[in-house]
Chains A and B, each alone.
Chain A
C-alpha cells in the first residue's frame, strides 16, 4: 500500500457507482485512489497461477450454516447462510425493523464485499428506467385515479428527478457500450440514441414459454439486456474468441452466473469492464481489503479519509474530492458515523433532516410454475425475455397505478440442485432451506418424485417496479449493535405502503398470465401455483431487499434533498455520493445500469467542477 499522499479523487467502493467515475477520471489523467472493504478476487485470467478465486461451486455461494450470536434481537440464535463475499452477520449486520417484527439482523441479497461489489454476483439484468420513472411527481399531479392511496401519499411524496431522461440518455448509451451489455433494442419502449448492444446468446428453450405468453398477451418481448460479454469487447479488451460460440463448449451460458462471481470473466462486472482496463495506469491506485471508518472535514471540504488497512491498523489518506459509493445503506451510514464525530460535519450533512430518509427498494415479485417440458437450465444466463408492456403511461393509468413495471423471465433460478432444495417451497429466492428441511415426506421415492417434478422444469417471471417513497422508510444508526470495529451498524426501518401492495398484486397477476398463456400455447389455462409480491413472502422478514436505493436523494432544491443535481452533498464543496442512494424514486427496472449511467454523468461533472 502506498504511503498516505494526496490524490485528486478518493472513491470509496468499487461497484456500479464508484467504478464508472474511476474509469472516467483516470482516463482523463486524474489521480484516483479507490478503496474497497472487500478482497480483489481474481478471475482465472488475472491470477498469476491461472486459478480463479471464484469457483463453479454451489457451496461457495450457498455458504455453510452459521448462527446469529448478537444478543437481544428477534432472530438471535437463528441460522444464517452467507456466501464467501457476503459480510458475516455477527461482524457487520444490518438491523432491519418492520412493523410488528422486532429488530432482525440481516443483509440484503447480492451484497458483495469485494472489488466489483454487487456487479460480481448479480444476474446482470441491465434495464434502463423509463422517461416516466424520472418524472413521477409531474405524472401524478392532479390524478384522482390512483388506487389504494387514501392519504394522498403519492401526490405528496412522488418526486421528479432533477435530470430528465434526455439528460441521462447519452450516459445510458455510454454505459451500455463501456460495460458490455448484450440484448436487443427492438420492442423496447425506452428511446436509445445508439444501439451498443452485443448480440445475445440463443435463449434457453424453457424461456420460449415466457415469450409465447408475452406475445399472446400483446406484450412485445425483447431480449433482456444483460451484462454478459458475448463478443470481443473493444472497450475492455475482453476477447471471447471462439469459446462460447458452440453449444457444447465452455462459453458464458452456465448456471454459475447469477449469484456467482464468474471465474472466466464473461460477466461484465465493473472489475472486468471498467477497472481492470485502468488498473495498470500509474494514476490509479486500488486498495482492496481496506475499511473506511469515517471522513473528516475542515469547513466545507472533506480533507481526510480514515481507513483500516488489511491488518486492521489505522491509516489516513487525503484527496481533493471524496466520492462515497459503498451502496446506499453503507454510504448513508458512513456519512452518519462521520457526523457523529464532528459537529461541523454534522451540521453540513444534516443541513435538513433528510439524510437516511426515503430509503427505497423495489416493489418486486412474480409468478412461478412447473412447465410442461424439462430443459437443461444449466445452459443459461439469468434472463432471456423482457417486456415494457406494464411501463406505459396508458397501462399505468388504466390500472390505477402510480408508476410502471418491467417484466422479465428468470431462467437461472433453481437451475442447480442445491439451489432447488434451498429455495423449495419459498415464495421467493432467499428463504433458505426452510421448505426442504421441513418437507419431511420428501424421502426415498418421493425424493425421486420431487426431483422429477421440479428439477429443470420451473420457470419464473418477475417484475420490478417503483416503491412509493415514504419519509418513515429510513436508514439510521442502531442504538446498541456495533460492528467488528466498534462502530454502530445501520438500522433500517421500512414498511410497504398500501399502494405498493396493490401494485405488486396487479403486476404479479400479469406475470401469472404470462405463464398461464405461455404454458398452453396461448390458451391461458396453464396452472400457475405461485404468484405474488415480495410483501407476502417470508423473505420480507429474512432480507430487506435485493436492491437498496435512496436515503440521500438528489434534487434541485436543497431543502428537499441531500445531494445536488450532480450528486454533491449540499453544503460541502467536494463530497459526492454516487451509488443508488441518490435516487428519489426507485425506477421500473433493476437499478445497476442506471447507477452506472449516473456515475458516468457524475464523472463528467467532476471533470467540469474545477475541483480537480
Chain B
C-alpha cells in the first residue's frame, strides 16, 4: 500500500475554498473541454485535483524527490455521514484507502506518496458505491470499457494525449520554432544531456529523449493539453490532422515526419500569413491562431520547470547559461565556470538545482 502522507486540514482547505466553494452553478469554467451539463464546468481550475505536490518522507529531501504527494478530495453534498475511500493503480486496485473528514467542512481527503513519472487511474467508493471523481476533468477508458479518473505525477513522460504520428509531426513543428537546430546548439545539448548523471537521466528525460524530441517540448504539450489546458487538445487534434493532410498532398510519396525541413518552414510561413491553400477552413478557421498557441506552448515547454515534462534535464536553462555570447567580447561562457549568464540552479531545489535550503 502507498505511504499515507500527513497533510493537515489547512493544506486541504487552502486548495478547496477557491475552486469548490460557491453558490453559482453556471458552467463558467467550460472553455470547450466539457460536454453540456457536466457539473465539473462549475469548478474553477478543476484540473488542480487531485493535488499533485512535493513530498517529504520525514528523513531525506533528496530521497523524497523521487515521489509526489497526491491529495484526493471529495466534497459531501448533503449533511449525512458517508464513507468515502479511493481505489487505484497507485495502490493495489482493490484495497480501499479511506478519505478522512477535514475538520468542520464538507470535504474528505487523503494524501498518498506516488512515484514521479507515473500515470494512474482511480475511482472513489462512496458508501461502497464506485464513482468517478466528480471534480477531476481527466478520465480514461480501460481496455475492458470501464471509465476511470486519471492523474499523472510530475516529470511524467508517458504519452497521454497524442498518437504516435501526432508526436512525430509535433516534433518537427516545434523543432522548426526552437533555437536548438544550429550545429553549435546541437553539440551543446548532446554533450549536456550525455553529461547528466544516471539518476538525473532516469528522472528527467529518459523517455522524452527516446522520442528524439527537442528537449521534451512535445511531452510538455502532451501534458498541458491533458491537464491545465485540456480545452486546447481539440485544437491540436484538428490542426495536426489538417497539417498531415496538407503535407501529404504536397508530397504523396513521403511520410510527413520525414519530409525535409524546408517543407515545414514553408508551411509555417503560410500558416503565419493565413495563406495555406489546402487548409480546410470549415474545420479550423485560423491556422495562424494555432501557430500562436503552438509558439506559446513550445516556448513554455522549453524553459519551464522540468517537472511539467519539458525542458528535459533542464537543458533549456543550460542552453541559456552557456550559449549566449558576451555582447562586449563575443565570447561564450566558460563551460567550467560556476558563474554563467543564467545561474538557474542556485535558486532551485536539489537534486535538480543546488539550493542548500529550498526543497521544491
Contacts and interface: CB of A to CB of B under 8 A. Distances in A.
Interface of A: 1, 38-42, 44, 48-53, 55-59, 63-67, 69-70, 88, 90-91, 113, 243, 248-250, 254-256, 263-264, 288-291, 308-313, 372-376, 378-379, 417-418, 421, 433, 436-438, 440, 443-445, 447-448, 450-452, 455-457, 482-486
Given A52-B359, A248-B338, A310-B16, A40 B300 contact: no
A264 B182 CA distance: 39
A379 B346 contact: yes
Contacts of A375: 341
B54 interface: yes
Contacts of A448: 179, 182, 185, 323
Contacts of A308: 21
A394 B5 CA distance: 63
Interface residues of B, number: 90
Contacts of B327: 372-374, 452, 457
Contacts of A91: 22, 24, 28, 44
B177 A437 contact: no
Interface string B124-160: 0000000000000000000000000000000000000
Contacts of B346: 248, 250, 254, 378-379
Nearest to A65: B229
Contacts of A417: 303, 316-317, 320, 342
B300 A59 contact: yes
Contacts of A433: 296
Nearest to A417: B303
B358 A56 contact: yes
B182 A44 contact: no
Nearest to A447: B179
A69 B23 contact: no
Contacts of B304: 57-59, 418
B292 A437 contact: yes
B24 A485 contact: yes
Nearest to B303: A417
Contact of B299 (A254, A312, A376, A418): A418
B6 interface: yes
A374 B22 contact: no
A67 B230 CA distance: 12
Contact of A440 (B54, B291, B305, B320): B291
6 contacts: A41-B14, A65-B229, A90-B44, A250-B356, A437-B292, A486-B23
A52 B358 contact: yes
Contacts of A255: 347
Contacts of A50: 56, 61, 359
Interface string B161-174: 00000000000000
A445 B24 CA distance: 50
Contacts of A374: 324-327, 341
Q: Across chains A and B, which 8 residue pairs bring their CB atoms closest together, nearest first?
A: A39-B14, A312-B21, A289-B17, A64-B228, A448-B179, A447-B179, A417-B303, A440-B272
B229 A64 contact: yes
Contacts of A250: 346-347, 355-358
B7 interface: yes
Given A310-B13, A376-B340, A443-B176, 15 more contacts: A49-B58, A51-B56, A51-B360, A52-B359, A53-B14, A58-B304, A59-B300, A67-B32, A69-B30, A309-B21, A309-B104, A378-B346, A417-B303, A445-B179, A455-B320
B10 interface: yes
B99 to A, nearest CB: 15
Contact of A39 (B17, B44, B54, B348): B17
A345 B83 CA distance: 46
Interface string B8-41: 1011011111101111100111111000000000
A256 B338 contact: no
Given A48-B8, A440-B291, A443-B177, A310 B357 contact: no
Contacts of A451: 179, 320, 324
Contacts of A378: 342-344, 346-347
Contact of A88 (B14, B45, B61, B300): B45
Contacts of B69: 51
Contacts of B32: 67
A54 B278 CA distance: 48
A18 to B, nearest CB: 18
A308 B21 CA distance: 9
A223 B346 CA distance: 24
Contact of A437 (B58, B176, B296): B296
Given A39-B18, A374-B326, A484-B24, A44 B320 contact: no
A69 B320 contact: no
B17 A59 contact: no
B36 to A, nearest CB: 14
A279 to B, nearest CB: 12
Contacts of B182: 444-445, 448
B223 to A, nearest CB: 11
Contacts of A1: 104
A521 B356 CA distance: 38
Interface string B103-122: 01111000000000000000
A256 B347 contact: yes
Nearest to B268: A443
A421 B44 CA distance: 27
B184 to A, nearest CB: 9
B305 A59 contact: yes
Contacts of A42: 10
B328 interface: yes
Contacts of A421: 299, 303
A373 B299 contact: no
A332 B199 CA distance: 55
A249 B326 contact: no
Contact of B348 (A52, A56, A59): A56
B18 A311 contact: no
Nearest to B340: A376
A444 B317 contact: no
A64 B224 contact: yes
B295 interface: yes
B251 interface: no
B53 interface: yes
Contact of A373 (B11, B291, B296, B328): B328
A440 B269 CA distance: 8
B295 A437 contact: yes
Contacts of B23: 312, 484-486
Interface string B268-282: 110010000000000
B22 A58 contact: no
A206 to B, nearest CB: 11
B18 A38 contact: yes
B25 to A, nearest CB: 10
A254 B348 CA distance: 10
A44 B359 contact: yes
A425 to B, nearest CB: 13
B236 interface: no
Contact of A56 (B303, B343, B347): B347
Contacts of A455: 320, 324, 341-342
Contacts of A243: 356-357
Contacts of A38: 18
Contacts of B299: 418, 421, 436
B61 to A, nearest CB: 8
Contacts of B61: 50
A376 B296 contact: no
A70 B30 CA distance: 11
Contacts of B56: 49-51
Contact of B31 (A66, A248, A486): A66
Contacts of B229: 64-65
B295 A436 contact: yes
B141 to A, nearest CB: 25
B89 interface: no
B245 interface: no
Interface string B319-342: 010011111100000000011111
